[in-house]
A and B are shown apart, each in its own frame.
Chain A
Amino acid sequence: MSDLLTVLQDTADPRPEKLAKILGSTPQEVENELEELRRNKTLLGWMPILNPIQGQSEQVRAVIEVKISPEREGGFDRMALRISKFEEVESCYLMSGGYDLLVFVTGKNLKSVASFISERLATIQGVLSTATHFLLRPYKDHGHLLAEETENQEKPSISP
């Protein structure tokens, strides 16, 4: 992984000026490298990591196990892509084991997610079955613990 990518994943502040300072390069060089990473599709986008409890409290998320029938040419790919293209689908993975696709879905309420699954997803030809699990309460998201450990207030600010 390039130094820039490592630092990007470390810092909460991705401004090129700041990154340049850490990397000992210039903001222009950082811009150029970011541009290259975007061009070769290593860097797909930026996303703030919101606390799901505070940030999007009304949103509903579900994870759906989907069984599909593979096709003669292309195996699972065409079906997987087709499902992935729905706006409601946050991410979609081909899995080993008891089902084929694991699909993460978000919607503004229970009803909208339910209707997406029953009316859109389950009715696609080639979808054999779905098993839906609604996410109830998050404890850790994108590597961030949601119940932060309280910072140790008594840690001395100067120590030998």
Chain B
Amino acid sequence: MNSENFIADHVKNLPRSGIRDFFAIVSEMPQAISLGIGEPDFVTPWKIREASIFALEQGKTSYTDNRGLLSLRKEISKYCTSFFGPDYDPVSEILVTVGVSEAIDIALRSILNPGDKVLYHEPCYVSYAPSVTLAFGEPIPVATTPGQEFSLDPEAFEKAWQPGCKVLMLNFPTNPTGGTADREKLERLAKFAKEKDLIVISDEIYAELTYEGDHVSISSLPGMKERTLLLHGFSKGFAMTGFRVGFGCGPDWLIEAMMKIHQYCMMCAPILSQEAAIEALRNGTEDVLQMRDQYHKRRDFVVRRFNEIGFNCHLPRGSFYAFPSISSTGLNEIDFCHRLLREQEVAVVPGTAFGEHGVNHVRASFSTSYDKLVDATDRIEKFVYCLDSENKEPAAV
């Protein structure tokens, strides 16, 4: 039996995630300090966990409405109005999903016919291109650049447009670069989306973790609510990755289409997580602010240290990732990560794990305690120092 024959071509041809390869090495080194973690280091605030425990005690162990608990959708609707701007009808314009991950998948599957093109910016979250491919679409990456601190560049999107483009996918603040999008740029992009009749999928999962100015959602711009799917979730801001709960808000026809897929492949998000999410929205926003303040301080520290070490590191305006250029070391990002791990036992992720435009950069998460960050940056400094003397040695002879 040739097992190869049984795997669908479009799955077989899907590249392995660069992150997984690296993960395999790091997991052999339990003593290493990891700045490779893409989730909060905080555990979920106790009151949110407690709400889930209470729900369990109450015997809430059933399925829910496919769209999610109505009480949760009502809270989501209130939260979106106050935090993002638009008003969404809890009954027809909101779908509770198993994380933003599921929402991305079912949104693309709902929208794309085979061969439809999706514009998205890169470096980006690892699942974007594969999700497009799995929905039989064609991913069209558009670079965000170090020169613009990886912020939104509407002009680049305009240039990259080609016939067959149907979707514009955004993620600001961005994993892995911390780039953000200001109102003016979003307005220009919105105009472009309308002109070219594109649907916008806007993954704003890091919205609460914005450190400079206020987060602006493209869904709040005039005429955009009707062509934008706003994706958000509890994983990052509320430190609830393991609960696996997120949501999509958008026009009723799109939510209805997504719901069709969701009801067959997922049925509903876990009820205990939905109960926790209700508590998060009702009483968790103070905790979010506290965590954000912690990330903010750590960000300032890490970025300052990277620049002291000699990397060119822009200030990530959101998310919990720093994305320094390591080209001053003379190593490429893959060798840098492997040698740093071997020689100083610090793990960071090669920028190219997030697409080829991450070349010469690495992602370092500051979702780690101060003490570890101090230690890790000291070790990186030592590593770079040793590299320098290594490079100088032959000349000295």
- Interface residue ranges, A against B (CB under 8 Å): 6-7, 10-13, 18, 21-22, 24, 149, 155-160
Contacts and interface: CB of A to CB of B under 8 A. Distances in A.
Contacts of B353: 160
Given A22-B301, A24-B304, A149-B43, A160 B370 contact: no
Shortest Cβ-Cβ A-B pairs, 9 listed = A158-B36, A158-B23, A159-B38, A157-B34, A160-B126, A157-B26, A160-B38, A158-B26, A160-B19
Contact of A157 (B27, B126, B297): B27
A158 B347 contact: yes
B347 A157 contact: yes
B371 interface: yes
Given A7-B370, A18-B374, A22-B374, A157 B43 contact: no
Contacts of A13: 371
Interface string B19-37: 1001100110010101011
A12 B36 CA distance: 23
Interface residues of B, number: 29
A159 B36 contact: yes
**Could you tell me the dominant secondary structure of chain A's interface residues?**
loop
Contacts of A149: 43
Given A24-B300, A156-B27, A159-B23, 8 more contacts: A10-B370, A18-B374, A156-B23, A157-B30, A157-B34, A157-B36, A157-B347, A158-B26
A140 B317 CA distance: 36
A11 B301 CA distance: 14
Interface string B32-67: 101011110001000000000000000000000000
Contacts of B37: 155-159
B127 interface: yes
Contact of B374 (A21, A156, A157, A158): A21
A150 to B, nearest CB: 11
Nearest to A22: B301
B39 A158 contact: no
Contact of B19 (A6, A22, A155, A159): A159
A149 B45 CA distance: 13
Nearest to B305: A21
Contact of A160 (B17, B32, B297): B17
Interface in B336-383: 347, 349, 353, 370-371, 374
A149 B49 CA distance: 13
Contacts of B39: 155, 159
13 contacts: A7-B370, A11-B371, A22-B301, A22-B374, A155-B39, A157-B30, A157-B37, A158-B19, A158-B22, A158-B349, A160-B38, A160-B127, A160-B175
Contact of B370 (A11, A155, A156, A157): A11
A12 B369 CA distance: 10
A159 B175 CA distance: 12
A11 B298 CA distance: 12
Interface in B154-180: 175
A18 B30 CA distance: 25
B125 interface: yes
Of B26, B37, B126, B353, most buried by chain A (CB within 10 Å of CB) is B37
Contacts of B38: 159-160
Contacts of B349: 158
A85 B349 CA distance: 57
B34 A158 contact: yes
Of A6, A22, A149, most buried by chain B (CB within 10 Å of CB) is A22
A36 B302 CA distance: 28
B26 to A, nearest CB: 5
A45 to B, nearest CB: 22
